[in-house]
Structure formats: structure tokens, C-alpha cells
A and B are shown apart, each in its own frame.
Chain A
Amino acid sequence: MSSTSSPASPVVDMARSIKKGSVVVAVGTKKGGFLFHSPDRKKWSVAGPFMEGGAVYHMILDPRDGRTVYASAPMGSEPWGPAIYRGRAGEEPKATQAFPKFKEGSDLSVSRIWHIEPGPSEAPDTIYAGAEPAALFRSDDRGDTWHDLGSLNYHPTRKEWQPGGGGLCLHSVLVDPRNARHLIVGISAVGAFETRDGGRSWTMENRGVRAEFLPNKYPEWGQCVHKLAWDASGDGSLFQQNHCGTYHRGPDGGEWTEVTKGLPSDFGFPIAVHPRQKHTAFVAPLVGAGNRVFPKGQMAVWKTTNRGKAWRRSTKGLPGPGAYLGVLREGMAVDEADPIGVYAGTNTGQLFASRDEGESWKMISDFLPPIFSVTTGIAQ
């Protein structure tokens, strides 16, 4: 263990050993992955960098065992293709035996993995991977072999799919905790797809969602969904942050309701939801598609407790004015402590944390590489 001496960072040491019960914040950056961990969320230690030098697009602590870390990063270094890494928290993860690939003859090839999602609690070896170009894959052996979910990946509309600014990526994978065969995924810039039969068939779920960049502003598909999240109501309700607004969808599916009113813009990337309090979510709106920084140079996180009917701005402890930065789509997360913690990682390498459900913030770490993803877990 050695002390850090950053003038701005409250991280106290570089301990790789993670105490059981600690809150873990897994941070994927442009140059490696880091595990911040703390028993009390006041003093933080950091383990890493892992996969050093590689772009870690997503990194999670599997909530089903609290020990296994999965990460997505290029194999070795950039040219060798994508890889899924797996390891015990605090130790250097290793590439799994295989990575997601399209079927032979498809003429498609996976360039990177944007998102790793744990499967249902009753299938602890199952994980999903969202890929670029947009595709969903499932592994039932912790990442050593992969299944190509063909009915989505070779959807009849696929030849017309268009990429968003970040590429044609499948970035959101939601597994219904009530029914493991019910999944919803988000693809930029195609929209949301839903299956209720474990991926055999999919429906497009974009009614009510705007696409300002298309001649038809409300098409069946082609919307640029940026992030999807379950509402903690537990009835299948959803939140969505889109390129063109923020949305909520009720428990019975159907049309999305735009809930952008009260926010400073209709453009942002992440959306994080309270794990227990229904209709409660956090967003980080930016100026717009043409200027992806916080409005007026002030970083702010906005919270709703009534499914977007009203929003409340939080800036206490966040940088600005004069802070021209953003938070990427995987860059915000909440923990499950009481009160919950909220975490936001910036594309300029700062990690901020709130211990009071988003009311006030402190910087956990500065001078990280640009942050791609932030997720949380409890170490076991």
C-alpha cells in the first residue's frame, strides 16, 4: 500500500485488496480499468490500472457473487480485436477463451464490445454483451463461449440501420428481474427492441420517441436511444435518455412519454435510476449534439422523483463555471447503500460521488484518463 499525493484527489491509497462489504466503483477509461473501493464511502482506495493501456469500454462487478469482474477491452492492444476479460476483483483479469462473433458468412465482424450485462440471478454463469456493429450476444459459461442472438442481429431491417455519432452500437441491455426471457436493448441510432421469449423474436419499442434528424419525426425505428434503465417500480416501467429528449414508459409497454420539460436541454447520454425508490432517476444533460458539454460550463446532475414530471438540479460540489466537459453514456451509476450513492465519471478524467442521493458531490479522483464507464457493486 502506498499513499497518493495528488493535490486534488481524496483517494487515500492504492490498495488492491478489497474488503468484504465495501462499495466498489468500477471505472473503465481510455487507458485501463480501475476499481475504487470504500467501506464507508468517505475514504476511497483504488486498485488498478487493469488492462493497462487498453481502452476499457465497460467494466462490472458481477452482483451475483460480488467477486467476479468482467470488462470489455481490446485484446492486448488495439489491433488484435475485441476481448472479454474476467477475473477476481483486485486481480488482473484475463481474456476469456472466446469473444462474441457474428456467424460465418454474415460479412459482419465485431469491432468492440460496448456493454456487459449480468444475466438473471438464477443463471449465474450467464452474461450478455452488446457489440458494435450493433448486436447482442449471450454466454452461458462466464464468457468462454458465445451465442449470436440471430433474430435481432440479422433483423430484416438491419441493412438500413444507421450509426449514431459513437457508431452503430448496442449499448443498453436490460434483463427483467421478474422474467429472464424478457429483455430490452438499445441501439444507436436504431432504437429500442424488446423480446419476451428470450430473444427468439423482437419488437421495436419506439412509439412516442422523437427523431429530429429524420424527415418523419416519429418513425417506427431510427431513433437515437442513448441509454435505457428500468424504473425501480419493478413493474417493467422504463426510463430512456435519447439524443432527442428524456422519456418514461409505463408498465404495460406502449408509447413512451417525453419528460424533457424542466431539463436544460433534450440531449444527454447517461441515465441512472434509484435502486429502490420508484420513478426516481438521474440525468446529465449537455448543451446539445453539436456541443457535448454541460450548459454554461457548469457540471450538473438532474434528479426526478416522479418519473420526469419535475426535475431538480444539483451542482453542489460539481465543477463550474468554466468546466467544459461531459459524461458519456455509461458514465453514471448508483450504488445500493442507504442513502444511495451516485457516481459520475467525466470525459476529462474526474470521478465524482454523492453520498446523499445526488444532493451534494465530492471528487473521488482526478487525472484519470477519459472515463468511458462507471458501474457499482458490493464486494463479497
Chain B
Amino acid sequence: MLVRIPPALRSYTDGQDEVVLETTDVAAMLRALEASFPGIRDRVVDEAGRRRPYVNVFVNEELIRASLPESKLNPGDVVHILPSVAGG
């Protein structure tokens, strides 16, 4: 599974724009990211575990609309973390 890191969060990944992980759901993916890059999880979800407003997570090209932590992942998936348009 490949996680694409948006430019705004590459300060946490020493500039890496993608990270390879093996996890089965988004909660585990965020924990794994946090273990390698402390602080990055807090930028995607808040301290109550809720997806931050205007942050979108796509698996392959599909936006996760269900509860973020419980969303399943499969080998070969590409996860995109992106800010939403949030404009008019």
C-alpha cells in the first residue's frame, strides 16, 4: 500500500512524498505513519479521532465517506491525503 503525502505535511516526512506501509485499515495506517513521523496523525484526525474538516482521504480514487478509522485497506491500494477544495 502506498500513502501519498501532501506537500503541507512533508515537513513531518523529511520531504518524502510517499510512504509504503502494510496495514489493513486506516486507523492502523495512521498509527504506522505516526510511529515513523511523529505528529503527522494529528494533522489528519483530531484528538478525538475524527477526520479534520476539509481533510479528505481517498483510497485509490474513491473518497472515504464512512468512518475514517474503520475503513479497510488492501495490498496495492494507493491512499491520498488531500485538503478539500473548501472554496466557492
Chain A residues at the B interface, C-beta cutoff of 8 Å: 75-81, 95, 97-99, 101-104, 106-110
Q: Are B39 and A80 in contact (CB under 8 A)?
A: no
Asked whether A79 lies within 8 Å of B54 as measured between CB atoms, the reply is yes
In order of increasing CB-CB distance, the 10 nearest A-B pairs are A76-B8, A109-B46, A79-B54, A80-B43, A101-B47, A79-B83, A79-B55, A109-B47, A109-B48, A107-B48
Residues in B neighbouring A80, C-beta threshold 8 A: 8-9, 43, 52, 55, 83
Given contacts A109-B46, A110-B47, contact A78 B39 (CB under 8 A): no
9 of the cross-chain contacts (CB-CB < 8 Å) are A77-B8, A79-B53, A79-B54, A80-B8, A80-B43, A80-B55, A101-B42, A102-B48, A110-B47
Given contacts A98-B39, A106-B48, contact A79 B86 (CB under 8 A): yes
Q: Which chain A positions have C-beta within 8 A of B50?
A: 109
A108:B47 contact, CB within 8 angstroms: yes
Note all chain B residues with C-beta closer than 8 A to A108.
47-48
Q: What residues of A have a CB within 8 angstroms of the CB of B83 in the complex?
A: 77-80
B11 within 8 Å of A (CB atoms): yes
Question: Contact residue range for chain B?
Answer: 10 to 19
Nearest B-chain residue to A103, judged by Cβ: B47
CB-CB < 8 A to B42: which residues of A? 81, 99, 101
| Contact call A81/B9, Cβ cutoff below 8 A | no
CA distance A82 to B84 in the complex (A): 17
Known: A81-B46, A101-B47. 7 other contacts (CB 8 A): A75-B43, A79-B54, A80-B9, A80-B52, A102-B47, A106-B47, A109-B47
Bound together, the chains give a CA A108 to CA B49 distance in angstroms of 10
- Flag B56-88 by CB within 8 Å of A: 1 or 0 each: 000000000000000000000000000110100
Q: Which B residues are in CB contact (< 8 Å) with A77?
A: 8, 83
Nearest CB of A to B11, in Å: 7
Complex Cα distance, B41 from A81, in Å, reads 11
Distance between Cα atoms of A102 and B50 in the complex (Å): 13
Min CB gap A217→B, angstroms:
36
Q: Which residue of chain B lies nearest to A83 when distances are taken between CB atoms in the complex? A: B43
Give the distance to chain A from B59, nearest Cβ to Cβ, in Å: 19
Q: With the chains together, A103 CA to B9 CA distance in Å?
A: 23
Specify which chain B residues have a CB less than 8 angstroms from the CB of A75 in the assembled complex: 8, 43
What chain A residues lie within 8 Å of B8 (beta carbons)?
75-77, 80
Q: A97 touches which one: B9, B39, B55, B86 (CB < 8 A)?
A: B39
Contact of B52 with A81 in the complex, beta carbons under 8 Å? yes
Contacts of B53 in A (CB 8 A): 79
Tell me whether A81 and B43 are in contact (CB under 8 A). Answer: yes
* A101 to chain B: closest residue by CB: B47
Please indicate the chain B residues that have their CB under 8 angstroms from the CB of A95 in the complex: 11
Cβ proximity bits B5-33 to A, threshold 8 Å, 1 near / 0 not = 00011010000000000000000000000
Most buried by B among A78, A80, A81, A101: A80
Chain B minimum-CB-distance residue to A102: B47
A107 to chain B, nearest CB (A): 5
Docked CA distance A278–B12 (Å):
48
Tell me, in angstroms, the Cα distance from A324 to B54 when the chains sit together. Answer: 33
Cβ of B52: which chain A residues have Cβ within 8 Å of it?
Answer: 79-81
CB-CB < 8 A to B55: which residues of A?
Answer: 79-80
Cα(A76)–Cα(B48), bound, Å: 21
Q: How far is the CB of A102 from chain B (nearest CB, A)?
A: 5
Tell me the smallest distance from the CB of B34 to a CB of chain A, in Å. 12
Q: Which residues of chain B are within 8 angstroms of A110 by Cβ–Cβ distance?
A: 46-47
